[in-house]
Amino acid sequence: MSITSDILRGHTEAIILSHLLEQDSYGYQINKDIMRKTDNKYELKEATLYSAFRRLEQAGYIRTYWGNETVGARRRYYSITEEGRKAYKSYRRDWEEAKVTIDQLLK
């Protein structure tokens, strides 16, 4: 793991939203995807993930529904809302700007 909690902080929600842009998904899957995508360099801890889901739902950025699995454990799916897409875009702009600014400040 090379990304600290403090760097992670503030990106969690955007990372989740980004994933949901592609397709609806559920917690366990999102978690695995992130690890796979980053060659296990980055792991969203479960507690972090679920608290982020709560915030995103609260904010109206995602909606949730239960999957209709007949075998295996039940899955709670999440889908991004129109508001969520806007929030994602806004976040992306902020991030591009923040990167430049931080780079400046680190010389």
Partner DNA sequence: CAAATATACCTTGACAGGCGAGGTATATTT
Partner DNA sequence: AAATATACCTCGCCTGTCAAGGTATATTTG
Residues in contact with a copy of itself by CB under 8 A are 2-7, 9-11, 14-15, 18, 21-22, 34, 37-38, 41-42, 92, 94-95, 97-99, 101-102, 104-107
Residue 107 binding: pick among a copy of itself, DNA, none (C-beta 5-8 Å cut-off by kind): a copy of itself
> Least distance from C-beta 85 to DNA, angstroms?
20
> Least distance from C-beta 40 to DNA, angstroms?
13
Residue type, 26: Y
DSSP 3-65: S-HHHHTTTHHHHHHHHHHH--EEHHHHHHHHHHHTTTS----HHHHHHHHHHHHHTTSEEEE
Q: What's the length of the chain?
A: 107
Interface with DNA (CB under 7 A) = 5-6, 8-12, 26-29, 32, 44-48, 50-55, 71-77
